[in-house]
């Protein structure tokens, strides 16, 4: 890892402002690192020429004293975000060689603020997965290894490519999407920081839809401060997305380092799940001690409907997916497999274009929305969702400012270890799905290493549109736990 690639985003921003190095040099250092790290399969598309052009334009602006908030900062973009003139496939065969003619609002905001695109990162196909093993382009390999072992590990999913790229110093920050934990779980598995903002904080326009009432864009970075810097640029109102809130974006960076004295932090008893490893319990205890030492008050709380979150999520989520994915038919864009008639065209295209996990979720979703089952499954799941949301509201109304929980039930597992067991894979989301069901903000922050030397994360859950409090609390954990960097093997 070169000196330039080991900088934090904030350090790189300051270095560019002082002209210690150029945006072109910074971009080139990262492109060289990406080239050497292809064994990780973090990127599905590298945009070296575009990066060079954007960096050159940034240097010109810096030279004129017109630098914008992210001027010259090289970042990676998850392949779920449409990028104008740059292939976007959601890592699915059915979107082969699809090149959008427009940018998503989130990426347009990043380019508006001067960021430089290094490439598109790998993800689970249509963001459906918890390990980044369902991608048409193959799994992402974690830059982390167990002590004394060479077993390739998963990065978590679905935003595994972004998490790996940040952890392996192949970019200074990256975008992700989080539908049930797809930012926070990979962040925990890779020792990075991942923020899932409040639903509506970032526009969903131009992001390939998975489950529209759950999807939310958010940032990955190697520090809490860097994550706050990125979110400020990503967030904001958007007339093109009716679910995007029209309210000003705070200066999230200003919240980093702010005192947490007097904040009441809820510890939900329902998150002590059966069979939880002792090291996760110990990590959670340690996190509580750190926050207490910083002046926060720890309060035991109950979120009684949490136990229903995972089954309700896996009804709502596939139902919305089956509806959203109906548009991929082989007629307008992407893969087309000929058939004897139009029905044959649809069937052949979808049969060959969608991977196994996507087909499974589409079939589950179609079933729960079908006549005779809608009330029994989808409608009931939505009622449960309302109860889950109400649990959180009651806790916040009682004076709780945020909640502390584990981010994942285990550290990263080996590639292929859970691939044949969808239920075991779905259980990886047990601590994260409630946040999406309730539309709340959540952040995963590295908090320690397990006995095998793999990173573990803690999760903080906040009040709606109160990401600032989460950044303040996450900074406390980050300062107490220290930074974790994988030993280079690639």
- DSSP letters of 59-122? HHHHHTT---TTTT-EEEEETTB-BTTB---TT-GGGTT---SS--HHHHHHHHTT-EEEEEEP
What is the structure's pLDDT at 426? 67
Q: Which tokens hold the place of 145?
A: 């290894």
Q: Which of 158, 233, 322, 472 is catalytic?
A: 158
What is the structure's pLDDT at 295? 98
What residue numbers bound the domain in which 152 lies?
132-490
Q: Residue 455 belongs to what H/E stretch?
A: strand 455-462
> For every one of its 490 residues, what pLDDT tens digit does the chain have, with 9 covering 90 and above?
469 999 999 999 999 999 999 999 999 999 999 999 999 999 999 999 999 999 999 999 999 999 999 999 999 999 999 999 999 999 999 999 999 999 999 999 999 999 999 999 999 999 999 999 999 999 999 999 999 999 999 999 999 999 999 999 999 999 999 999 999 999 999 999 999 999 999 999 999 999 999 999 999 999 999 999 999 999 999 999 999 999 999 999 999 999 999 999 999 999 988 778 899 999 999 999 999 999 999 999 999 999 999 999 999 999 999 999 999 999 988 999 999 999 999 999 999 999 999 999 999 999 999 988 999 999 999 999 999 999 999 999 999 999 999 999 999 999 998 867 777 676 778 899 999 999 999 999 999 999 999 999 999 999 999 999 999 999 999 999 999 999 999 9
- Which region holds residue 275: left if phi is over 0, alpha if psi is between -120 and 50, else beta? left
Q: Give buried/exposed letters for 131-159 (b at 16+ CB in 10 A, else e).
A: bbbbbbbebbbbbbbbeeeeeebbbbbbb
CATH number at residue 256: 3.90.1300.10
Q: What is the DSSP string of 150-179?
A: ---B---SSSHHHHHHHHTTS-S-EEEEES
Q: Is residue 12 part of a domain?
A: no
Q: Is residue 47 part of a domain?
A: no
What is the structure's pLDDT at 344? 96
Overall domain count for the chain: 1
DSSP state of 125: G
Q: Are strands 297-301 and 264-268 parallel, antiparallel or unpaired?
A: parallel
Q: Is residue 157 part of a domain?
A: yes
Q: Which of 58, 78, 135, 233 is catalytic?
A: 78
CB 394 within 8 A of CB 132: no
Q: Is residue 168 part of a domain?
A: yes
Q: Which of 22, 130, 131, 182 is catalytic?
A: 182
Q: State whether residue 471 is helix, strand or coil.
A: helix
Rg (CA), the chain: 21
Q: State whether residue 402 is helix, strand or coil.
A: strand
Q: Which tokens hold the place of 209?
A: 């839809």
Q: What are φ and ψ of residue 137, in 5° steps?
A: -90, 10
Q: Which of 56, 61, 218, 14 is nearest to 48 (CA)?
A: 56
Cis bond upstream, residue 474 (ω within 30): no
Q: Tell me, yes or no, if 135 is annotated catalytic.
A: no
Q: State whether residue 40 is helix, strand or coil.
A: helix
Q: Is residue 233 part of a domain?
A: yes
Report if pTM > 0.95.
Answer: yes
What is the structure's pLDDT at 1? 44
CA–CA separation, 239 and 205 (whole Å): 9
CB 118 within 8 A of CB 46: yes
Q: Is residue 95 part of a domain?
A: no
CA angle 368, 373, 375 (to 5 degrees): 100
Q: Tell me, yes or no, if 182 is annotated catalytic.
A: yes
Q: Is residue 230 part of a domain?
A: yes
Q: Is residue 84 part of a domain?
A: no
Q: Tell me, yes or no, if 6 is annotated catalytic.
A: no
């Amino acid at each position: 890892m070169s000196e330039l690639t080991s900088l934090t985003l904030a350090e790189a921003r300051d270095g560019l402002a002082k002209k210690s190095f150029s945006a072109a040099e910074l971009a080139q250092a990262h492109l060289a690192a990406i080239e050497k790290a292809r064994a990780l399969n973090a990127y599905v598309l590298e945009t070296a020429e575009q990066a060079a052009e954007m960096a050159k334009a940034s240097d010109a602006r810096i030279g004129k004293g017109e630098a914008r908030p992210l001027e010259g900062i090289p970042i990676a973009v998850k392949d779920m975000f449409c990028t104008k003139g740059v292939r976007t496939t959601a890592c699915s065969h059915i979107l082969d060689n699809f090149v959008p003619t427009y940018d998503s609002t989130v990426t347009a905001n990043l380019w508006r603020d001067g960021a430089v695109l290094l490439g598109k990162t790998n993800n689970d196909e249509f963001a459906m997965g918890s390990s980044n093993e369902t991608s048409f382009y193959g799994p992402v390999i974690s830059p982390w290894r167990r002590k004394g072992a060479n077993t390739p590990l998963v990065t978590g999913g679905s935003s595994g490519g972004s998490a790996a790229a940040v952890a392996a110093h192949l970019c200074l920050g990256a975008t992700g999407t989080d539908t049930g934990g797809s930012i926070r779980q990979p962040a925990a598995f890779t020792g990075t920081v991942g923020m899932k903002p409040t639903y509506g904080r970032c526009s969903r326009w131009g992001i390939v839809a998975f489950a529209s009432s759950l999807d939310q864009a958010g940032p990955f970075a190697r520090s809490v401060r860097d994550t706050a810097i990125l979110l400020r640029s990503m967030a904001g109102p958007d007339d093109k997305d009716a679910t995007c809130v029209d309210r000003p974006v705070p200066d999230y960076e200003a919240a980093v380092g702010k005192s947490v004295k007097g904040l009441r932090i809820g510890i939900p008893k329902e998150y002590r799940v059966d069979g939880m490893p002792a090291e996760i319990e110990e990590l959670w205890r340690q996190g509580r001690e750190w926050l207490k030492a910083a002046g926060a008050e720890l309060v035991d709380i109950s979120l009684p409907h949490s136990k229903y979150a995972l089954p309700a999520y896996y009804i709502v989520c596939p139902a919305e997916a089956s509806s959203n994915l109906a548009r991929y038919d082989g007629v307008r864009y992407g893969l087309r497999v000929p058939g004897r008639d139009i029905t044959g065209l649809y069937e052949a295209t979808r049969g060959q274009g969608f991977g196994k996990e996507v087909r499974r979720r589409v079939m589950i979703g179609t079933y729960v929305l079908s006549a005779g089952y809608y009330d029994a499954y989808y409608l009931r799941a939505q009622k449960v969702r309302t109860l889950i949301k109400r649990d959180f509201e009651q806790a916040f109304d009682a004076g709780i400012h945020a909640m502390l929980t584990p981010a994942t039930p285990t550290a990263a597992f080996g590639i292929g270890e859970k691939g044949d067991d969808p239920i075991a894979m779905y259980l990886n989301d047990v601590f994260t799905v409630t946040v999406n069901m309730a539309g709340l903000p959540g952040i995963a922050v590295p908090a320690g290493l397990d006995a095998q030397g793999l990173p573990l994360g803690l999760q903080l859950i906040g009040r709606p549109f109160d990401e600032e409090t989460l950044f303040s609390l996450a900074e406390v954990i980050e300062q107490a736990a220290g930074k974790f960097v994988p030993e280079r093997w690639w």
